[in-house]
Structure 1
């Protein structure tokens, strides 16, 4: 009788499970899948900073891919509101189901999916090109936006970043690589600005920098935080975004005024920004180093000509150097012909009070200031810097 009772219980559970309808089903093309596990994983980033981050998302469920490439998830996550999930596949040698690859959207191993209560979702993809081939049957509006984001990200990647990852990280093309990265990020920020769907918008902001480094797009991320906070004031992820994009956490923004800034000058004096301005029409605050090849090229090819042309018209340059060797600093100034303008440094290397005050981590960097210390533009280099200074000096 005991064994009969157990058998009856097992039969009931079996019949219940068979009667449950899968909420997420799909078919994977496994023709190039010899290196891949025949498994699909469902993971949930619980915080904004976990989105697009490896090893951070919570593992919710997994499903085996059968011989026909089909899989299904029967147990619904049961959330009562839209939630961002990741559908993930892994190579055979990968131990962690929540490892996300962000190297190339043509082959990355996951897709961000918006779960909505009571929705039935059907997926089709090729396992070896999972993100780029991912498609949905009759997607919701939120998931339509996610597919659009994927397409725009992939197009931007092909235009600006493809091939850069394999190049040697040499200083000669550092500024070009940085400009390409910014152009790529701008495309993703534009998507966030143009959509009405919150979760795809937040996905775009995380894809703009999976590492959470928004230093070079500070104005853009700040504007998005303001936009989404006005619409979704109580959303936890929006609150996180607002914290990340707080003015106190970002570099000085265009339009803000730098007031209390002290320069430890070469002659040993501490000079305030107002003393540096001293009636000047336009001030270029340049952050550089003797070991920074692009900085040195810009000294010689851009800053010297600008100084010669406009210093008589109240154009000033003050350069702060990330130096620990006074000898190397002095040698670079003389070799570049940069002795013409003002120089300052704490001689404390990368970690110094000046970079902390400006909330900077990356060079080359610069700020163009008016006579009030207001930031007119920043991080302009090469011809862009020449054009800005030409235009401003002619109009003012």
Structure 2
């Protein structure tokens, strides 16, 4: 009997030792180069919602590790999910919270998303001062290779369109140029999303398009991605959250939508329904303000010449001004020559009912409508707007 019990105890001890060895053997390890200070920590962060991906202070910290003097570190508290899990590895400067993520210049980004599959070891290397840009994975999986490719696309696009650019945003053309550059940067990420078969890298790219969670200027892209992934992985909770965000009530009027037949409070004190004043060929619904420098430039250099040339051929312009000062509005419209076309405003500034109805918060903005009131283009300016109007009247 004693021998029998002893064998059971021995077997139990061996099982405990085996279990302990398996659970303490880290699957995510690495080395950070350029460590010059003590007490540098790396954090393992798990986003729990679509909105938490690549978002500062929102992801859940599930582990942390002190970087050793030789730059090495290891994580031990890893998810046990059987499904692949998106995680973020972040190195933190002194005084920053563990889940602080820098999303500006990629050279300064202090974190990198990875996909962890339970039981599959990941070994990474990176430089502390260029963490995201220098981040490497030894023999990366297919999904992590996609994330590394995305990282490279992001870095190249930033260097091409945004790095070291300085815009005097008080000047009209400069603000338009800045917005164009940001859109070109975003398009590089959006092209990746359109081409990748991998859901998690696609969702990272979606969030990198706007870490601020603002898709007002690219809502059609958000809707298209909901449609794509809802067909492929409809039960994934993050796909459901993406689709919730892309519902019509959460986005501006889209290209292809019929613009709502809104009643405009006119500068002449009467009111007009949009459908009653539509152009026979095209209608430009233009959002502007007397204090908006690029709007004023657009009035003088683009809308005035377009209106003069095409108003008798079926062009209509309906302007809505974000104003609270009626005198300033009227003076600016007259000075720019914008009083030639229909002018309206609720005189409630940014709290205007019109903005709420079409779900727009940013100006300059515009919607170009065909003769049926369908939006054929939006938020195009300067030469692009002039070319579109010209091409429609020369068909």
CA deviation profile, 1:267-302 (whole Å, cap 9, x unmatched): 22221111111x621111100000001000110111
Confirm or deny that 1:24 pairs with 2:28. yes
Per the alignment, residue 125 of structure 1 pairs with 126
Change (3 A) 1:291 1:19: closer
- Name the CA distance, whole Å, in 1 between partners of 2:22 and 2:69: 20
Tell me the equivalent position of 1:104: 105
Distance 1:346 1:15, change over 3 A: closer
CA distance in 1, matches of 2:382, 2:231: 38
Q: Following the alignment from structure 1 to structure 2, what is the Cα–Cα distance between the partners of residues 211 and 364?
A: 20
SS in 1 for 2:146: helix
- Map of 1:3 onto structure 2: none
Residue matched to 1:297 = 297
Match of 2:151 in 1: 150
Contact map agreement 1:37 1:91 (CA 8 A) in 2? no
Deviations along 1:237-272, one digit per CA (max 9) or x if unpaired, are 010100111122111111111142111111222211
Q: Which runs of 5+ in 1 are unaligned?
A: 1-8
Q: Where does residue 284 of structure 1 map in the other structure? A: 284
Give me the whole-angstrom Cα distance separating, in 2, the residues matched to 1:304 and 1:86. 51
How has the CA–CA distance of structure 1 residues 337 and 167 changed in structure 2, closer, same or farther, with 3 Å as cutoff?
closer
Q: Secondary structure at the match of 1:287?
A: strand
**Superposed counterparts of 1:158-169, under 5 Å:** 158-164=159-165, 169=169
Give the structure-1-normalised TM-score: 0.92
Q: CA–CA distance in 2 between the matches of 1:170 and 1:136?
A: 44
Q: Residue 106 of structure 1: SS of its match in structure 2?
A: helix
Residue 134 of structure 1 corresponds to which residue in structure 2? 135
In the alignment, which residue of structure 1 is the partner of 2:343? 343
Report the Cα offset of residue 93 of structure 1: 2.3
**How many residues are matched?**
380
| Alignment pair present for 1:46 and 2:48 | yes
Q: For residue 336 of structure 1, report the CA deviation from its aligned partner.
A: 0.4
What displacement does 1:189 show?
1.1
In structure 2, do the counterparts of structure 1 residues 270 and 233 end up closer, same or farther at CA, with 3 Å as the change threshold? same
Q: Within 1, Cα distance between the matches of 2:339 and 2:74?
A: 69
Q: Secondary structure in 2 aligned to 1:316?
A: strand
Cα distance in 2 for residues equivalent to 1:163 and 1:41: 30
Q: CA deviation at 1:18?
A: 9.1
Q: Is the 8 A contact 1:171 1:292 kept in 2?
A: no
Query: Secondary structure, in 3 states, of the residue corresponding to 2:349?
Result: coil
Equivalent runs, 1:130-279 vs 2, <5 Å: 130-164=131-165, 169-172=169-172, 173-277=174-278
1: CA distance, partners of 2:334 / 2:23: 81
Which stretch of structure 1 is more off in the superposition, 68-77 or 251-260?
Answer: 68-77
Q: CA deviation at 1:78?
A: 1.0
User: What SS does the corresponding residue of 2:249 show, helix, strand or coil?
Assistant: coil
Q: In structure 2, what is the Cα distance between the partners aligned to 1:194 and 1:133?
A: 24
Q: Secondary structure at the match of 1:180?
A: helix
Tell me how far apart the structure 2 counterparts of residues 86 and 321 of structure 1 sit (CA, whole Å).
44
1:87 aligned to 83, 86, 89, which one? 89
| DSSP 3-state at the match of 1:216 | coil
8 A contact 2:256–2:374 mirrored in 1: yes
Q: Is the 8 A contact 1:40 1:89 kept in 2?
A: yes
TM-score (norm 2): 0.93
State the distance in 1 between where 2:372 and 2:23 align: 72
The change in CA–CA distance for 1:158 and 1:246 in structure 2 (over 3 A counts) is same
CA deviations over 1:148-177 (Å, ceiling 9, x no partner): 00000000111111124x655434311110
> Cα gap change, 1:160/1:344 in structure 2, threshold over 3 Å: closer, same or farther?
same
The aligned residue for residue 4 of structure 1 is none
